[in-house]
Structure 1
Amino acid sequence: MVGGIRIAVAALVRDGLVLLVHRHPSRQAYPDCWDLVGGHVEADELPEQAVRRECLEEIGVQVHDPVPIAMAVSDPNLDVHAFLVTRWDGEPVNAEPDEHDDLRWFRPGDLAELKLAHSGSLSSILNAVQVATN
C-alpha cells in the first residue's frame, strides 16, 4: 500500500525459534498481543535502516544483513516492510519496557496459540523460520 503508515519489523530467528515481543496492555495500537520487533519508518529512513534502528532501540541488538520477506497484514492503513534476521550482535533484552512487557523465543508450532498483533502474518512468520532453518 502506498501512503500508509510505514512500519519495519524483524523476524529474528535462532535455532529454529523466532523472537516476539509482547506489546504492553497500555499501548494505543495493538495492545496486549505478541508482535515482531519493529516500529515506524521515519521520513528520512529506508525500511532497512528503520529495522536496524528499531532492533537496537527495542531489544539492544545490532542486526546484520536483514533480508526482506513478504508479510501479510490485514490493516489497510499499514505499509509493512518485514525482514528476516539471522545474525546480530548482542543478546536481545527488553530495552523499551513502556512499549513491551515481555519478549520470548517461540517454536513455530506455538505461534498459532498466541494472540498476534496481525493474525494474518502467522504464515509469513512461519515461512521466515522455515527459510532461516534451511
Structure 2
Amino acid sequence: MKVDRGVEIPVPAGGEVWTAGAVILNRDGHAFAQKRSPDRRLFPDCWDIVGGHVEPGETLLDTLVREVDEETGWRVRRVRRLLGIATWTGDGDGTRREADYLVEVDGDLDHPALEWSKHTAYGWFGPEDLPRLKENRAPGEYLIHDLIAKALQGR
C-alpha cells in the first residue's frame, strides 16, 4: 500500500476513541457509499462511507485497511489524501475523533462484499447524486455528504 507524500496520519493518544473512514472513487469518479440498516444504534438508515473504530494495537492505517476489507472485500492500494478530521459524539455521549481519507482500492468494484446484516444498499455517487446522502439526517448532520463532495471536487 502506498501513502502519498504529505498525508497526515494522526497517532491517537491514550484514552482517545478514533475511527477511520475511506472515500473510495471508481473509474468514473463516483464515490462509494453504503446505507446503514434501520436497526443500527448510530446513524440508522443513513448513507455512510466505509470505516470503523480503531481497535487496540491498531494504527489509523491498520483500521482503514481492515475496515475496507471487512466491509467491501476490497484492498487499499493507495491513500491519496486526508479529507478531514471530525469530532463527534457517539453513543453513551462519548467523544469520537474521525480521520477520513480518499483512497484507491483493488477488487471488483461492481460487486462489493457488503456486510448485509449492517447495510441494506450501496451506491456510487457523483455530484448530481449528492442530495441523496442527506436522507434521514438532521439539518447540520451532513458529514458524509460534505466528505464525498470534497473528495469529488479534488479528484
Query: TM class by shorter-chain length?
Result: 0.7 to 0.9
TM superposition score normalised by structure 2: 0.74
**Deviation (angstroms), 1:80:** 0.4
Which consecutive unaligned segments of at least 5 residues does structure 1 have? none
Partner of 1:80: 98
Q: Which of 92, 103, 112 lines up with 1:93 in the alignment?
A: 112
Q: Is residue 10 of structure 1 aligned with residue 33 of structure 2?
A: no
Q: Which of 6, 10, 26 lines up with 2:39 in the alignment?
A: 26
Runs in 1 of length 4+ with deviation above 4 angstroms?
A: 1-4
1:20/1:37 contact within 8 Å kept = yes
2:31/2:126 contact within 8 Å kept = yes
CA distance in 2, matches of 1:112, 1:71: 20
CA distance in 1, matches of 2:128, 2:117: 29
Question: SS where residue 128 of structure 2 aligns?
Answer: helix
Deviation per residue, 1:59-118 (Å, 9 max, x gap): 110111123423364624221011101342333514311111111111122112333664
1:17/1:5 CA distance change after superposition, 3 Å: same
Larger Rg computed on CA atoms: 2
Question: SS where residue 69 of structure 1 aligns?
Answer: strand
- Between stretches 66-75 and 14-23, larger displacement belongs to 66-75
